[in-house]
Structure 1
Amino acid sequence: MMSQPIVNIANLNLKYHNKLVLQDLNWVINRKENWLLRGISGSGKTSLAKAIAGLVRFQGDIEVNFDPQSSLPPLVHYVANWYQFKDLEGQSNFYYQQRYNKQATETTATVKFELENYGKKHQLQFSEAEKLLAALGFSDLLDSTLIQLSSGEHKKLQLVSALWLKPQLLIIDQPYNGLDKLSRHKLNDLFEAITAAGTQLILISNDKELPSAVHRFAAIKTGKLVEISADEHLQEYDKEEAKSIPDFLTETPVSSAENIIRMVNVNISYGEKQVLKDISWEVKAGEKWLLQGPNGSGKSTLLSLITGDHPQAYANDLHLFGNKRGSGESIWDIKKRIGLISPELHWYFDPLATVRQSIISGFFDSSGLFREPDYTKKTQAAELISYFGLTEYQDVLLNQLPLGKQRLAFLARTIIKNPELLILDEPCQGLDQQQTQYFNKLVDELCQNGTTLIYVGHFESQLPACIEKRILLENGEVKSVENILESV
C-alpha cells in the first residue's frame, strides 16, 4: 500500500488583496521529497506557502498528512521573509534610528530571552539551540537585543528557531537573504542534517546554491504550479527589454566636496563590546565602492555613521561632504545629499503609505509622505513609477504589494532626488534574478553621471559592473581595501 503524500493540493484558488494570484493550482508533495519553489516577484510563492501553513484564506483543498510514526512534531512551520518582533511591552512600531538609541535597547528582548521563551513554548532543550547558534556563528549575540541585529542576523535567528523545532514540514521564504557566503554553506549543511532526520523542506528561493537534499523543483507561472528540472532552475529568466532612464537622472549631481567621506581611527562601542575599531576610510566624489564583510562585521554600524543616524558620530573624527560631524550641520543637511535603501529602513517604514507616497517621500527623507509635493516632484515620481513598471500599483498601500515590488518602489524612492551619494545596502533582497539584473544595470547607468556609490552585497554575481573599489570589514576592523580591476 502506497503511503499518503504529506501535502496534496487540489484546485487551489487564492486572492492577494482582491487580485487572483493562484488559479486552480494542483501540487502533490510525496514523503521524503524536498522542493525548491521559484517564480518571478508577485507570482504567488509566499501566498502558496502561507496557504499550506494555514495562515491565509483560500478556496480549494489542501490536505496535510503527518506521519504518525514520526518522532518529529506534526507541524507545518512557515518562516517568513523577515523577522517581525515586538518590544517587552508588546509594541512593534519601531522607527529606523531607534536601533541606535540606548533607551530602545533597554525595552527590547535579547536574543537569549527570545529563544528561551520559544524553547519553553515548544518544550525544546536549549542545548540543541546552542549547537545551531554555534554552527551559524551566532553564539556571541545571545545578549544582543533584537533591535540591534542586522538583517542577516535576524535571518539567522529565524533559521535557528525553525531548525531547533524540527517540524515534519518546514517552509522557508528566502532562506539565504542577508547571509554571507560562509553562513550559506553552513546553512546548507544544517539543511542536510535536518532532512536526514526526517524533516521535509520547501525552500522559496531564486538562489542557485542549494543543499543536495533539495531534488525537486517547481515554479509558479500564471497562477499554476509547473514542475521544472534542476537545469531549468539554473537558467536565467528571459531578459526584459531595457528602458531609458528618466532624463532628470542623467544630470550629474553637484558634489559639495572632493572627499564625500573621511573617517580617521573611528571607534564605536556598546558598553564593553567594541563594534568598530580604528576605522579609517576615505571616499572621494564619484568613486564606486563595494562594502563587504561577514554577518556582524560592523557594516550596518559603519553606514549609520555616514547617514547621520548614529549618535556616537560626534565623538569621532568623521567628515561628511566636507564638514566635520558636530560642526553645526543637522542630520537633515546630511540626509538631503544621500539616497539610501536598506533592509532595516524597509522594515520600519510607514505601513500606511501608498506606493506613490512612498516614492515621493524620498525627496523629504521621511518615512511616509507628510507634506504636499510640488509639480516637478510629482512629475519626476510619475516618470519613475512608469520606469519601474509600478503604474497600476501607485495608489495601493506599499505593504500590500509582493515584497519584490515593494523593493522596486523603495529603489525608486532612493534615487528620486538624484542624490550626491547612493548607499545601497543589500538593495536586491526580495528581487528575482531579472529584477536584480535590471536594477544593477540602472545603477551602472546612474553612476556614469558622477554619482558616488557605496554598495553592500554578499553575492558577487549580483553586483553592478561600475564598482571599482572594495573595503572589507571583519570583526569591526578594516581587513582590506583594494581596487577591483576589470578583467580583460
Structure 2
Amino acid sequence: MLIFQQCRFLLGLSHQVQVSQLQLSAGQHCAIVGANGSGKSALAAVLAGQAQLLAGHAELPARISWVSSAQQQALIEAERRKGDADILDVEVDPSSARDIICRDHQHWSDAQEQQLQQLASMLRLQQRLDTAFLALSTGETRKLLLIKAILQQPELLVLDEPFNGLDVDACSALQQLLADLQQRMTLVLVLNRLSELPDFTQKILYLAHGEIEWQSADAGITALELAELAQLNQLQQAPGPLPGKDRDRFTPALAEQILVRLRQGKVQYGDRVIFQGLDWQIQRGEHWQITGPNGSGKTCLLQMLSGDNSHCYTNDLQVFGYQRGNGESIWDIKQHLGLVSNSLQLQYRVGCPVLHVVLSGFYDSIGLYDQPSALQIQLAQQWLALIGLEAKAKDSFQSLSFGDQRLVLIVRAMVKHPTLLILDEPCNGLDELNRLKVLALLSVLAQSGESTLLYVNHHSEDKIDGIHRVLRMTDYQAPVPDRPVA
C-alpha cells in the first residue's frame, strides 16, 4: 500500500523531510510517536500526500484522507474571512457544520446521509449539524473533520492527534469508531499519549530530530518493544524553581479577595441554551477544575472571564472587582490575567520570534509592540530554559511544532505570575515528557499562592497538585429536545 525508499520530500515552501525506509501493507495500522518538535506532524503530512517528492521512490494509495490541527486552523480562518465580507457590503451566510461536511460531494446520497447520521450520533454531534461552524467548540470541530474524512471512503486515513480536545466519552466513542474503521481502511495515528494507542495497532514509528529513529518489527508489536518505547518517552528531569517577577513593571496588587463572582449565569445561542443558573464565586487561592463534555460551555465560561465572549456583558459578572459592562477597560482585566487555550493558539498567527511571544505575555498582546526591558528579556529567557526551548528563542513561532507552540504559550501566560491563570486544556499536543513537566510547573505555581488557577482538561491522569474544587458544567445544562433523524 505504501512504500518509501530513500525519500526526500518538500513540505510547504522550505521544510524538507527525510524518510529512508518505510513500508506499510493494507490493514497494517500504524502509530507515530515522539517528542514535541520531532517531526510527527510533518511525517503525517507526507504520508497524507501533502508533500512534494524531491528524491527517492515513493508509492501512496490513490484515496487518502487527513485530519490535523493545521487543517482545522486553515478552515477556521477561511470561515472567519467569509464573516468579514460585510466590510464590502456583501452578505454571506455562515457555513453550518453540515455545509463543511458535504461541500466536496457533488451528489449527496441517502446512504451518505445515513452514514453521516450514524457517525454524528456516535460522536454526539447529531444535534450540532445545523449549527454555524464557527459556533462549534474545538473538540466539536475536530469531530466534524473526522466525520468529513471518513465519508470520503479513503484507503488510508491519517489522523494527527485525533483525541486532542475530546472529552472522556468522546475519546471512548472515537476508540470504538477506530476499531470499526480498521476493518475498512488503513489507519495512521499521530499520538502523544501511549495510553491512546489502539489495541489493533500493528506498527509504531518513533521519531527524533525529524527522522524515524526506531520502529517496531513488521510481525507485530511485542511487550519488549512497548517497554523500549516507554523508556524513550520517560520523564528526564523535574522542573527547577520558577523565574521571578518583573520588579520594574509590576502589576498593581488587587485588594479584592473575591476574584470572580457570577450570579445566575446563562449562555444561549439562538434556541440552544449552553448553560444556565450558574452561581459561582472564586476566592483568591481557590484553584478550580472545570469539567464537562464537549459543547457544555467550559471554554465559553472562561472566555467570559477574559472578555473574549460577549456574554460577559449579558450576565451579572464581576471580575477583579469590575462589574462587566459598566465602562471598565478590558486592560483593567487582562493585566491580572494569564491565558492558555486552543483558541489563543489558533489566533496567534503573528510572525515573530519565540522570545517575543513570551515577552508579549507582559503586555497581553498577540505579537510584541513595546520595547521590553533588560529584566523582562532575562526573565523570558529563563522561562524558555525551564521548558527546554532556549535554543529556539530566535526561531519563528510559526516554525515550531504544535506541541512546542503550546509550551511557549504556557510560559507566556505564566511570565507575569498573574493573579488568575486560565488553563483551557493546556496539555493538548504535548508529548509525555513535556506534559509531565508542565503539570509539575503548574503544581509549583498553584502551591506558591501567587496565582489562582482555573483548569479545564479531559484526562484524569493530568492532575495538578493543589486543585481541590470542581465545577461540573453538566449541573447547569438545559435538557436537549429530541429531534427527528433525517
1:215 CA drift (Å):
2.8
Give the letter for the 2:101 counterpart: L
Give the letter for the 1:78 counterpart: W
Unaligned runs of 5+ in 2: 480-486
Give the letter for the 1:214 counterpart: T
1:246-257 equivalences in 2 (<5 Å): 246-248=242-244, 254-257=253-256
1:460 CA drift (Å):
0.9
Cross-structure match for 2:455: 455
Give the letter for the 1:56 counterpart: A
2:51 maps to 1:63: no
Cross-structure match for 2:202: 215
1:360-439 equivalences in 2 (<5 Å): 360-439=359-438
Cross-structure match for 1:115: 101
2:14 maps to 1:10: no
1:378 CA drift (Å):
2.0
Residues 120, 84 of structure 1: alpha-carbon distance in 2 compared, 3 angstrom cutoff: farther
Cross-structure match for 2:484: none
Cross-structure match for 1:141: 128
Once structures 1 and 2 are overlaid, which stretch shifts more, 433-442 or 32-41? 32-41
2:162 maps to 1:175: yes
How far apart, CA to CA, are the structure 2 residues paired with 1:315 and 1:65? 53
Cα root mean square deviation, aligned:
3.0
1:65-464 equivalences in 2 (<5 Å): 66=61, 74-82=62-70, 83-86=72-75, 108-120=94-106, 125-197=112-184, 199-207=185-193, 208-222=195-209, 223-228=211-216, 229=221, 231=223, 232-233=225-226, 235=230, 237-248=233-244, 254-450=253-449, 451-464=451-464
Q: 1:31 aligns with which of 26, 39, 47?
A: 26
Once structures 1 and 2 are overlaid, which stretch shifts more, 166-175 or 385-394? 385-394
How far apart, CA to CA, are the structure 2 residues paired with 1:148 and 1:111? 9
1:395 CA drift (Å):
1.9
Give the letter for the 1:64 counterpart: E
2:35 maps to 1:40: yes
Once structures 1 and 2 are overlaid, which stretch shifts more, 134-143 or 231-240? 231-240
How far apart, CA to CA, are the structure 2 residues paired with 1:189 and 1:448? 39
How far apart, CA to CA, are the structure 2 residues paired with 1:452 and 1:122? 51
> What TM-score, normalized to structure 1?
0.86
How far apart, CA to CA, are the structure 2 residues paired with 1:447 and 1:478? 33
Residues 118, 65 of structure 1: alpha-carbon distance in 2 compared, 3 angstrom cutoff: closer
On the 8 A contact 1:175/1:203 being kept in 2, the answer is: yes
Q: Deviations over 1:72-92 (max 9, x none)?
A: xx312221135134579x565
Q: How many residues align?
A: 459
Residues 446, 87 of structure 1: alpha-carbon distance in 2 compared, 3 angstrom cutoff: closer
How far apart, CA to CA, are the structure 1 residues paired with 2:50 and 2:115? 28
How far apart, CA to CA, are the structure 1 residues paired with 2:234 and 2:91? 46
Q: Deviations over 1:357-416 (max 9, x none)?
A: 211111121111122222332222122122222222222221111111111111111111
Residues 296, 266 of structure 1: alpha-carbon distance in 2 compared, 3 angstrom cutoff: same
Unaligned runs of 5+ in 1: 1-5, 67-73, 480-488
How far apart, CA to CA, are the structure 2 residues paired with 1:47 and 1:178? 20
1:218 CA drift (Å):
2.3
On the 8 A contact 2:160/2:191 being kept in 1, the answer is: yes
Once structures 1 and 2 are overlaid, which stretch shifts more, 374-383 or 33-42? 374-383
Residues 256, 161 of structure 1: alpha-carbon distance in 2 compared, 3 angstrom cutoff: farther
How far apart, CA to CA, are the structure 2 residues paired with 1:110 and 1:10? 43
How far apart, CA to CA, are the structure 1 residues paired with 2:74 and 2:401? 20
On the 8 A contact 2:8/2:19 being kept in 1, the answer is: yes
2:47 maps to 1:52: yes
SS in 2 for 1:357: helix
On the 8 A contact 2:275/2:473 being kept in 1, the answer is: no
On the 8 A contact 1:119/1:126 being kept in 2, the answer is: no
Residues 390, 87 of structure 1: alpha-carbon distance in 2 compared, 3 angstrom cutoff: closer
Q: Deviations over 1:200-237 (max 9, x none)?
A: 00111023134333232221235224224464447362
Once structures 1 and 2 are overlaid, which stretch shifts more, 315-324 or 121-130? 121-130
Residues 116, 87 of structure 1: alpha-carbon distance in 2 compared, 3 angstrom cutoff: same
How far apart, CA to CA, are the structure 2 residues paired with 1:18 and 1:293? 41
Give the letter for the 1:168 counterpart: E
How far apart, CA to CA, are the structure 2 residues paired with 1:269 and 1:31? 47
Q: Deviations over 1:116-153 (max 9, x none)?
A: 21333898823321211111000111222222221111
How far apart, CA to CA, are the structure 1 residues paired with 2:415 and 2:76? 33
Q: Deviations over 1:140-195 (max 9, x none)?
A: 11222222221111110111111222200111100100011111111122112222
On the 8 A contact 2:261/2:318 being kept in 1, the answer is: yes
How far apart, CA to CA, are the structure 1 residues paired with 2:293 and 2:475? 8
How far apart, CA to CA, are the structure 1 residues paired with 2:433 and 2:190? 16
Give the letter for the 1:435 counterpart: N
How far apart, CA to CA, are the structure 1 residues paired with 2:443 and 2:91? 38
How far apart, CA to CA, are the structure 2 residues paired with 1:468 and 1:87? 35
SS in 2 for 1:131: helix
Cross-structure match for 1:69: none
On the 8 A contact 2:243/2:379 being kept in 1, the answer is: no
On the 8 A contact 1:47/1:56 being kept in 2, the answer is: no
Q: Deviations over 1:209-268 (max 9, x none)?
A: 343332322212352242244644473623222342344159999443111111111112
1:474 CA drift (Å):
1.9
> What TM-score, normalized to structure 2?
0.86
How far apart, CA to CA, are the structure 2 residues paired with 1:107 and 1:86? 16
SS in 1 for 2:466: coil
On the 8 A contact 1:189/1:211 being kept in 2, the answer is: no
Residues 396, 17 of structure 1: alpha-carbon distance in 2 compared, 3 angstrom cutoff: farther
On the 8 A contact 2:246/2:375 being kept in 1, the answer is: no
How far apart, CA to CA, are the structure 1 residues paired with 2:276 and 2:10? 50
